[in-house]
Amino acid sequence: MSNLLTQRQAEELHKSLIAYLTAAGLTNTAASLREELHIGDEFDDATRKKYEGLLEKKWTSVVRLQKKIMDLESRNTTLQTELDTATPTSLSRRNQDP
């Protein structure tokens, strides 16, 4: 198992994958994954419902956060350029009250 995820995170990922596969109608694949991951009968319909949609939510959150990071990096670059091109005169004007 990867050291990037905690045990709890890995378990949630596995259950989310199984719920996703089941919801997509890939029951044989979900059953194979359950068997390989040793997830037994404790993964019932109630548990499946709990994890259903979790992968999609996390995926859209990651995409949204990546876009936000790109926007902030762009804004940072713009502000850094403004700062680098500012003359001492314009800087002193900004520090004075209008």
Query: Per-residue pLDDT tens for 72-87?
Result: 999 999 999 998 888 7
**Eight-class DSSP state of 5:** S
pLDDT at 89: 65
Torsion of CA 7, 27, 41, 39, to 10 degrees: -20
- In the structure encoding, which two tokens stand for residue 53, read together? 């949609």
Separation between Cα atoms, residue 96 and residue 84, nearest integer Å: 20
Considering only the C-alpha atoms of the chain, give the largest distance between any 2 of them, rounded to a whole number of Å: 73
pLDDT at 86: 82
Question: Which region holds residue 5: left if phi is over 0, alpha if psi is between -120 and 50, else beta?
Answer: beta
Ranges of residues in the chain with a pLDDT under 70 are: 1-2, 89-98
pLDDT at 84: 86
pLDDT at 98: 55
